[in-house]
């Protein structure tokens, strides 16, 4: 599947030098999302260092992963492999 623009939402103001925080939800896997070029259609919005809090695999077993933008040059966006949050619930 491919990146879906309406599913990427910025949290807070863009008027800061601090990294921006985005939330994203997709049926794609975290492995798909961390592929270089996945976010190319958002290259005008994403900056190096921005964080993306993503819910992936929403059509099956939900996976919550935090990505950050490693590079954004000539319209090609690459994010890191991501840090997946544990689904542990021991109560």
Three-state DSSP class for 6?
Answer: helix
Average pLDDT, integer, range 62-84? 95
For a pLDDT cut of 70, what percent of the chain falls above it? 95
pLDDT score, position 1: 58
Among residues 87, 31, 88, 43, the alpha carbon closest in space to that of 69 is found at: 43
The ranges assigned to domains in the chain are 14-84
Statement: the pTM of the whole predicted model exceeds 0.85: yes
- Surface-to-core class of residue 53, CB atoms within 10 Å of its CB (0-12 exposed, 13-18 middle, 19+ buried): middle
Q: Is the pLDDT of residue 5 over 80?
A: no
- Can you name the residues that pair with 72 across neighbouring β-strands? 77
Top pLDDT among 1 and 73 is at: 73
* Alpha carbon distance 53, 75 (integer Å): 21
CATH class label, 14-84 = mainly beta
Mean pLDDT throughout 30-36?
95
């Amino acid at each position: 599947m491919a990146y879906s623009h309406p599913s990427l939402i910025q949290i807070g103001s863009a008027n800061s030098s601090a990294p921006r925080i985005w939330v994203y939800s997709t049926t794609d896997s975290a492995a798909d999302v961390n592929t270089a070029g996945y976010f190319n259609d958002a290259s005008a919005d994403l900056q190096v260092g921005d964080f993306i809090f993503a819910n992936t695999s929403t059509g099956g077993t939900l996976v919550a992963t935090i990505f950050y933008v490693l590079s954004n040059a000539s319209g090609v966006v690459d994010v890191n492999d991501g840090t997946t949050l544990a689904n542990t619930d021991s109560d």
